[in-house]
Chain A
Amino acid sequence: MAVLVIADHDGAHLRETTAKTVTAALKIGGDVDVAVLGGSAAVAEAAAKIAGVRKVRHASSDALGHGLVEAEEAAILPLAGEYDAILAPASSAGKNLIPRLAAKLDLAPITDVLAVVDAKTFQRPIYAGNAVETVKTSDAKVLATIRPTVFDAAPQGGSASVEALAAGSAPAFSRFVSQDTASTGRPELGAAKIVVSGGRALGSEEEFKAVLEPLADRLGAAIGASRAAVDAGYAPNDYQVGQTGKVVAPDLYIAIGISGAIQHLAGIKDARVIVAINTDPDAPIFGVADYGLVGDYKTLIPELMAELAKVGR
């Protein structure tokens, strides 16, 4: 048995989701290799340090650097015969690539895996996380995306070799134009230890920023938003937390003025501690929150800021 994990990175840094996907790969069993498509040598070296990895295969090209899926397909397809399973985190890149590879190999992909039952059987969410299905594949090979928030990261301490991988040649029918990556100086939403999130109750983009940014800065937190807040234009779309946005699992999630639509709750249910601040004591968010604070955020957030300052945060 051998499993290939396709690394998730931002060009310069390996994301922790890769080590979490390695954990899923180790559960499937066999030798685990990591493919790094695009990205710097440092990304490949970081992947080699994940415990349990046999070798890292690093391919580089302009198209791979821009994450063009047709180029990724060209790099990975020739390796498919060497592996019994190919996994990627359920990131935007992984979701883009895995089904495409699967169709090329005439395999049924298994997306957003929540649990590895055995090498051919997996659990995954359906109906926006309102149900969980267990599926067993009859295919010879498994192609899957892994929901990283439900797996622990494989520890550091590995010393895998890094080999060059041919980039392959992809047709030029897809071209990179531009990337608009918001640089906020805050941790990435999907990886942050603390997330503060705002809902429609905040009422405007200005208020959203005025309330959430100081709190996020004080806590070293990432900022999230409900779909309602994003749709209303209070926050950019990549802030959206929920089944249709980003699934998060921080140590602490603070929901401010979020009522708690089902699809939002589906995106935060793996958080260790949830705090809800809302004027409506019957809001569904209180049904999942470990600590609820009923009241107006306008008075509660300044009080919270003052209390955090007292304990040195």
Chain B
Amino acid sequence: MKLLVPVKRVLDFNVKVRVKADQSGVDLANLKMSMNPFDEIAVEEAVRLKEKGVATDILAVSIGPMQAQDTLRTAMAMGADRALLIQTDEDLQPLAVAKVLKALVDIEQPDLVILGKQAIDGDNNAVGQMLAALMGRPQATFASKIEVSGGVATVTREVDGGLQTIAVDLPAVITADLRLNEPRFASLPNIMKARKKPLDIKPLAEFGADTAPRLQVTKVSEPETRKAGIKVAGAADLVARLKNEAGVL
């Protein structure tokens, strides 16, 4: 069984986000970039499916600049078998990403696509759903547990108020939520091995997808922030203030 795992290179989650003074975007210059944490969970799940003998071939793909090769090497150090960089310096919007991935799915014919539920930069939470729609196949979003057997994935999903389990026929698209697994750290020997695994680079144009942006970002601004209030003397003071000052009791 073949798995496709799309991964995105994003600003590392530990780096403090700064909005550019001219409000044109977020400052990314010379800052640490890493694999989107939700995609890391997706890679881990794919590798576990391979370790269980369910999957045989894991292809990691990234759409982005040449530097995204690092992200793909990380995926291979974790256990992906091969990688493809679809090279572009444009920042593609989710619909465009889904179209490019659909074109790749048509070529590679994976049984299952696993990816993060959202990237922590744009926070769109859209590509998995859109790819499933373009493929005309089922989707299982926000997965916290995946079992695959007999051409069916049984997926437990994190939904409002609890958990829902659904069964989807393959091929399907699954998006990984936070608690699906805890991704492994790539060991040094595996990082060395990953250097020898195949990493293909193809230009975006080769996939023939319409990647024109539909959304124009007119401004990026700092969010409104709350101001610190006061320290209260004790429980009695707190309750009195909540009742009389804030009026919430």
**Are the chains A and B members of one assembly?**
yes
Residues of chain A having any CB pair with chain B under 8 Å: 10, 66-70, 73, 91-93, 95-104, 106-112, 121, 124-139, 171, 173-182, 188, 190, 194, 227, 230-231, 237-238, 243-244, 246, 251-252, 266, 269, 272-275, 281, 286-294, 300, 303-304, 306-308, 310-311, 313
Interface stretch of the complex, out of B46-54, B105-113, B123-131? B123-131
**Contact A238:B158 (CB < 8 A) given known A99-B94, A135-B215:** yes
Q: Chain B nearest CB: distance from A309 CB in Å?
A: 10
A126 to B93, CA, bound (A): 13
Whether the Cβ atoms of B98 and A103 lie closer than 8 Å is: yes
Whether the Cβ atoms of A134 and B126 lie closer than 8 Å is: no
Residue B150 interfacial (CB < 8 Å): no
A-side contacts of B56, CB under 8 Å? none
- Which of A174, A190, A252 is within 8 Å of B169, CB to CB? A174
List 20 A-B pairs, Cβ < 8 Å.
A92-B142, A99-B130, A102-B130, A103-B133, A108-B93, A110-B215, A129-B223, A130-B223, A131-B17, A133-B219, A177-B154, A182-B161, A237-B144, A238-B160, A251-B248, A288-B228, A289-B229, A290-B229, A291-B232, A306-B235
Q: What are the 6 tightest A-B residue pairs by CB atom distance, in nearest-first order? A: A108-B214, A290-B229, A103-B130, A303-B235, A103-B133, A99-B126
Enumerate B104-152 residues with CB–CB distance to A below 8 Å: 120-127, 129-134, 137-142, 144
Whether the Cβ atoms of A132 and B222 lie closer than 8 Å is: yes
Enumerate B152-190 residues with CB–CB distance to A below 8 Å: 154, 157-169, 172, 178-179
* Cβ-Cβ contact count across A and B, 8 Å cutoff: 258
A-side contacts of B226, CB under 8 Å? 269, 274, 287-288
Residues of chain B having any CB pair with chain A under 8 Å: 11, 16-17, 19, 26, 93-95, 98, 120-127, 129-134, 137-142, 144, 154, 157-169, 172, 178-179, 214-226, 228-232, 234-236, 238-239, 241-243, 246, 248-249
B-side contacts of A73, CB under 8 Å? 133
A-side contacts of B11, CB under 8 Å? 127
Whether the Cβ atoms of B215 and A136 lie closer than 8 Å is: yes
Q: Chain B nearest CB: distance from A140 CB in Å?
A: 10
A131 to B167, CA, bound (A): 37
A135 to B163, CA, bound (A): 33
- Which of B167, B220, B228 is within 8 Å of A126, CB to CB? B220
- Which of B172, B218, B234, B246 is within 8 Å of A303, CB to CB? B234
B-side contacts of A137, CB under 8 Å? 214-216
* 13 more A-B residue pairs beyond the given contacts A100-B130, A237-B179, A292-B231, with a C-beta to C-beta distance below 8 A: A10-B161, A68-B166, A69-B141, A95-B125, A100-B133, A103-B129, A108-B93, A131-B223, A134-B220, A180-B165, A188-B161, A237-B144, A293-B235
A-side contacts of B230, CB under 8 Å? 290-292
Q: Chain A nearest CB: distance from B16 CB in Å?
A: 8
Whether the Cβ atoms of B232 and A135 lie closer than 8 Å is: no
A-side contacts of B224, CB under 8 Å? 269
A135 to B139, CA, bound (A): 27
B contact patch SS? mixed
**Contact A96:B166 (CB < 8 A) given known A102-B126, A126-B220, A177-B154:** no
Whether the Cβ atoms of A182 and B162 lie closer than 8 Å is: yes
Residue of B nearest to A180 (CB): B163
A95 to B94, CA, bound (A): 14
Whether the Cβ atoms of B238 and A304 lie closer than 8 Å is: yes
Whether the Cβ atoms of A252 and B129 lie closer than 8 Å is: no
- Which of B137, B141, B229, B248 is within 8 Å of A272, CB to CB? B248
A173 to B235, CA, bound (A): 56
Residue of B nearest to A89 (CB): B160
- Which of A10, A108, A129, A190 is within 8 Å of B215, CB to CB? A108
A10 to B163, CA, bound (A): 13
A-side contacts of B214, CB under 8 Å? 107-108, 137-139
Whether the Cβ atoms of A99 and B129 lie closer than 8 Å is: yes
Whether the Cβ atoms of A127 and B121 lie closer than 8 Å is: yes
Whether the Cβ atoms of B130 and A173 lie closer than 8 Å is: no
A145 to B94, CA, bound (A): 15
A-side contacts of B221, CB under 8 Å? 131-134
Whether the Cβ atoms of A92 and B219 lie closer than 8 Å is: no
Q: Chain B nearest CB: distance from A118 CB in Å?
A: 11
B-side contacts of A109, CB under 8 Å? 94-95, 124, 126, 130
A-side contacts of B217, CB under 8 Å? 133-135
B-side contacts of A110, CB under 8 Å? 215
A-side contacts of B140, CB under 8 Å? 174
- Which of A96, A227, A286, A293 is within 8 Å of B141, CB to CB? A96
